[in-house]
Structure 1
Amino acid sequence: MTIPANEFAHYHAHLYFDETSQEFAAELRYTICHDLGLPVGPFNTRLVGPHLCWSFETAFTQDEFPQFVPWMEQHRKGLSVMIHAVTGDHYSDHTQRISWLGHPQPLNLSVFRPNDAVD
């Protein structure tokens, strides 16, 4: 595995799943939250934001990156994981500051406007 570059202060990882991997994804979400101590977002069994698959996210910092990203690669068991920087420019974060573990998934980028910084 090629580890993505660790160039930013904050990151999100979005883990994608479907009906067949939903139970494993829920277990992985629990582990990320309770064992690794990272914040996790809602367990989305509907499409949210630019994501065209069911998903959940976790947030981590530049300091947590060197431990979390290899751990995620080892434990994702075939799930696709999008890792992106969190800079406030959502469009660039999801187009230029993005890496994948597993198969890249398409995104609905029409939810963002280029160069829009959002809170």
Structure 2
Amino acid sequence: MQITQYTEEQEQEDIQEAEIAAAPPTDLKKVLDEEIKEWHFHIYFHQRNKKEHEAALALRDAVLRLRRDGAFVAVPLWRVNVDPIGPHPAGSYEIWCPSESFASVFSYLCMHRGELSILVHPLTREERKDHDTRKAWIGASWPLDLVTLPVRSSEVPSQYQSLRLGYSAPPDRRPLESRRAAGRKIEAILAREDEAAKAPIDA
């Protein structure tokens, strides 16, 4: 049996190929196609802590009132979990948010969460990865039980389709060239800003 020796040169080539494969994409169409359109915020509270439970419910009611008054679109699930459920290790509830309102909802929860911790994660077909490497925390992090989550689903988990937001929104049919033209205008303006990094010039 012939044994093929794995040379240092081959090892370097493999490393370079892996680095290229892991490079962030810059193809405009690919980036637009994979854009995340819906998010979950999970508000956590120690389920035996009455003060935290009340604070979590007060925050939920505030979000509902602000949605009613037009501040943003955010949809708390009807259920409040008073015990661990799924990957969540404590009392919690879910707030769905489309990308159209993400900045407003994130801002509000950052400013008014008090001592509560909030898990933020995207909604894609890769639910386990969404709760693992793609998640973020507002406040202290909690350990999650990821084994309860599917690795990949056949469809994007779009919610509240009647709102016509997020993944259910009408597609943006602007040509790619119009986006590039808008980008060039931004670059021209920022060229006069000393503190702004300049976009690379492609060969």
TM-score band by shorter chain is 0.7 to 0.9
Which one of 40, 51, 70 corresponds to residue 76 of structure 2? 40
Cross-structure match for 1:90: 127
User: Could you say which structure has the higher strand fraction?
Assistant: 1
Specify the code of the residue in structure 1 equivalent to 2:36: F
Between the two proteins, the alignment pairs up a number of residues equal to 112
Which one of 27, 37, 40 corresponds to residue 9 of structure 1? 37
* TM-score (norm. length: structure 1): 0.86
Structure 2 Cα separation of the partners of residues 31 and 51 of structure 1:
23
Distance apart, 1:36 and its partner CA:
2.5
Cross-structure match for 1:101: 138
Structure 2 Cα separation of the partners of residues 30 and 95 of structure 1:
28
Alignment identity in percent? Answer: 27
**For the Cα contact (< 8 Å) 2:43–2:117, is it kept in 1?**
yes
Distance apart, 1:84 and its partner CA:
0.3
Cross-structure match for 1:79: 116
Q: Secondary structure at the match of 2:147?
A: helix
Which one of 111, 116, 119 corresponds to residue 148 of structure 2? 111
Unaligned runs of 5+ residues in structure 1 are: 1-6
Cross-structure match for 2:56: 25
Compare CA radii of gyration and give the structure with the larger one. Answer: 2
User: Could you say which structure has the higher helix fraction?
Assistant: 2
* TM-score (norm. length: structure 2): 0.52
